[in-house]
Amino acid sequence: MKHILITGGAGFIGSHLTSFLLNQGHQVTVLDNLQTGSLSNLDFCKDHLGFRFIQQDVCDPIDLEINEIYHLACPASPVHYQADPIKTTKTCVLGSLNVLELAKKNQCRVLSASTSEVYGDPLVHPQVEKDWGNVNPVGIRSCYDEGKRCAETLFMDYHRHHGVDVVIARIFNTYGPRMSLEDGRVIPNFIAQALKNESLTLYGDGSQTRSLCYVDDMINGLTGMMALGKPMTGPYNVGNPDENTVKQIAENIVALTHSKSDMINKPLPQDDPVRRCPDITKLNQATGFAPTVSLEDGLKRTIEYFESKLNISVS
């Protein structure tokens, strides 16, 4: 049994990771300032003897004795990270520094939840880890894009200069239960609009692509990375290489919810990536990772969750 710290553990992915690790028999401490996370995401484990919650900002120094760290703390949707862009950059940089200092002190492995946004609007497709990206450093998304790129720099420099055992996960679009209704990304937007029979909002003409990974597959990818032998720093793309246009995703959700919704088009947001699809060959060769949940099955499970949240039934 290990004592594992999850920063941002009250968020969407973090809460699923908490559940998985507790079920594996580990002791889990979640550190979260609840800026975008929610304690309701952790209702399932609040009475678990191996669980502890600390309400704290990751930008403040952390003093714990732990065996592993999953560093997930950061607003991840454009709506949230653009609401306070300076705070987002601080979270990426100062938060990573504090987590790395803690890993150095405890001599433990730390996983950085980086992002596919380090590739920006990619010039290479599908995205491969050796691609350095095409990011606007002064755009409205740069607080997150460049913040995460700087975090990767810090992780590698702590590894090279201090011997910290790091692994970098570049997370691609992930979806599933416990996503926030106010998330602002494609899946919660479309499902909520479809369940309410409202018009689905497509930005641009809907031809831009996304590759959607169900959260259970994402947890398998992240924990598989953490179990790699030393030194296997990555970075590793983790996601689902099944690519769909945003319009196709919208049509699938309308069909699965039996919605009467139509679709309306609005201008594409600044610096929004036109194509997004991971090449997961590197992670597959290292861990055998391959997504198993189909888009249809994952959407059905996610729709059921949103039905309960909105108290709407389509059955």
Average pLDDT for consecutive 10-residue bins of the chain (315 residues)? 97 97 97 95 93 97 97 91 94 98 98 96 93 94 96 98 98 96 89 95 89 98 94 95 95 96 88 87 97 97 94 67
Same domain, 189 and 134: no
At residue 70's C-alpha, the angle toward residues 188 and 109, to 5°, is: 155
* Tokens found for residue 204: 């641009």
175 is known as an active-site residue: no
The rounded distance, in Å, linking the Cα atoms of 157 and 159 is 5
The CA distance from 230 to 250, in Å, is 42
Catalytic residue (one of 81, 119, 144, 236): 144
**Do both 199 and 121 map to the same domain?**
no
283 part of a folded domain: no
Same domain, 130 and 204: no
Whether residues 15 and 128 share a domain: the answer is yes
Looking up residue 39, the CATH number of its domain turns out to be: 3.40.50.720
Same domain, 48 and 161: yes
pTM, two decimal places: 0.94
Task: Please state, in angstroms and as integers, the Cα–Cα distance from residue 150 to each residue in 114, 176, 181, following that order.
Answer: 10, 28, 29
- Residue tagged 């969407």 (tokens): 12
Q: Is residue 281 a part of any domain in this protein?
A: no
The 10s digit of each residue's pLDDT in 142-198 is: 999 999 999 999 999 999 999 999 999 999 999 999 999 888 889 999 999 999 999
Q: Give the torsion sign (CA, 197, 308, 19, 158).
A: positive
- The verdict on 249 and 225 lying in the same domain is no
